Amino acid sequence: MRFDILTLFPELIDNVLGESIIGRAQRAQIISVFTHNIRDYTTNKHKKVDDAPYGGGKGMLMATQPICDCFDAVKAMQGEGKTRVIYMSPRGRIFNHSIAKELSEYDNLTILCGHYEGIDQRVIDEIVDEEISIGDYVLTGGELPACIVVDAVSRLIDGVLSDEACHEDESIASGLLEYPQYTRPPVFRGKGVPEVLLSGHHQNIDEWRLERSLELTKERRPDLYDAYIEAHPPKPEKKKRAKRITND
Ligand code: 4GX
């Protein structure tokens, strides 16, 4: 999978995505991330990329010409395949695991990062397929949101995670929050580890983990809990028990 990121701060993105698992995936050529400095595409001699908004108001907007010329150059560099252009913006659809899965099906993802008060609406209308938000707060630019999208999408691509790490995906992907986990030592500052986890009884461990996941999700994310219960209706086992009681 190929990512192209259009930004005024390419180094910020190169630094974030050059580390750890995503950095390794790039070096292994499982994914590639190309950053493009929009400023390199200015045609004016002062390399100016912003301008005042028509109609007045505070702040500056990113101008049309450098972004669109940068975008045309990027399009010419990309290979064949399914392509999507995303603009990171608080106006967008709120990013989640299911959107990450959707995006992981593309061959080329182009992400446009805005700075200042945003970009000229005609650029969005002309080149952007979809606006995506990483949450209801305002940042100084779209660079960190772009890194978040690249990270969440990349870890869904075959070969990016190790085989063991792949199983961790079952938490939020399953619709539930993850159960608590423990590692050595067995007693830390007077606190032990839940007995069942030391028992080696895998069925009991699985049951304990599911119970903790359900409990945590119900308490902290009732929205996710209700959706989970809707998708996993309680087994008809309960009816049997009720019948037995009445027969007794
Ligand atoms: N999730 N930002 C975009 C520029 C901007 C300003 C106004 C459109 C309208 C953000 C977020 C985010 C900061 C990126 C403002 N664009 N991006 N930028 N939350 O806060 O994605």
Helices 222-231 and 202-220 pack at an angle, to 10 degrees, of 130
Closest CA to 86 of 63, 114, 105, 48: 114
pLDDT tens-digit series, residues 48-104: 999 999 999 999 999 999 999 999 999 999 989 999 999 999 999 999 999 999 999
- How many Cβ atoms sit within 10 Å of the Cβ of residue 149? 22
Question: CB of 192 closer than 6 A to ligand 1?
Answer: no
Rounded to whole angstroms, how far apart are CA atoms 2 and 153?
Answer: 11
Q: Where are the alpha helices (DSSP H) in 107-232?
A: 121-127, 143-154, 163-166, 170-174, 195-198, 202-220, 222-231
Question: CB of 54 closer than 6 A to ligand 1?
Answer: no
Instruction: For ligand 1, atom 4, name the residue with the nearest CA.
Output: 118
Closest CA to 106 of 78, 141, 139, 138: 78
Q: Which stretches of the chain score pLDDT less than 70?
A: 164, 167-170, 237-248
Ligand 1 center–CA 141 separation, angstroms:
6
Question: CB of 66 closer than 6 A to ligand 1?
Answer: no
Predicted confidence at residue 174, as pLDDT, reads: 85
Predicted confidence at residue 240, as pLDDT, reads: 56
* Nearest-atom index, ligand 1, CA of 145: 21
- Structure tokens that stand for 120 in this block: 């000229």
Ligand 1 center–CA 140 separation, angstroms:
7
- Structure tokens that stand for 57 in this block: 């108001």
DSSP state of 46: T
